[in-house]
Amino acid sequence: MCKRILYVEDNPRNMLLVQRILEAEGHELLPAVDGESGWETAVTHHPDLILMDLRLPGEISGFELTRRLKQHPDLRHIPIIALTAYGSGEAEDKARAAGCDAFLTKPADIRQIRATLRQFFAPEPAQNEVTAVHHYAFI
């Protein structure tokens, strides 16, 4: 189940760590080092999920980029997971208000990232049940 995941992150060490996690899971990393390139990559590639550092260099913060993505009709459905050194509840409130679907804190916890990705990519149980009933009805 290969997914394409955009990670907007200016810290190369975090980028490398997440790249290793994603590759181990069989996913593809689309890297972006600031808000501007994150926006361009999202618009061009329509990733399956976005990991978002909130403190970014340049004009567009992770909060602002999240707001813009969630206002874009073709991109707003993409889950955005904040991955940030901001640890306060206030930062989480602000991130969720901007449109983040989940909030993880740095230092990055490998197991937590993996578990969160699996949660977002898990098949819908309700749909499976409906399919199973259909199959049964036509046997």
- Residue whose CB is less far from Mn ion, 4 or 55: 55
Q: Provide, rounded to whole angstroms, the least separation between the CB of residue 63 and Mn ion.
A: 12
Residue 5: closest CA among 41, 47, 43: 47
| Interface size with Mn ion, residues (CB under 5 A) | 3
Sheet with 80-84: list strands edge to edge. Answer: 28-32, 4-8, 49-52, 80-84, 102-105
CB of 135 to Mn ion, least distance (A): 48
Scan residues 19-58 and list those touching Mn ion (CB under 5 A): 53, 55
Pair 47, 41: CB distance under 8 Å: yes
Residue 105 token pair: 């804190």
Is 94 among the residues that bind Mn ion (CB under 5 A)?
no
- CB 104 → Mn ion: shortest distance, Å? 14
- Closest approach, Cβ 54 to Mn ion, in A, equals 7
Q: Residue 21 or 65: which CB sits closer to Mn ion?
A: 65
- E-only strand ranges, 22-79: 28-32, 49-52
At residue 2, φ and ψ (nearest 5 deg) are -75, 125
**Contacting residues toward Mn ion, per CB under 5 A:** 10, 53, 55
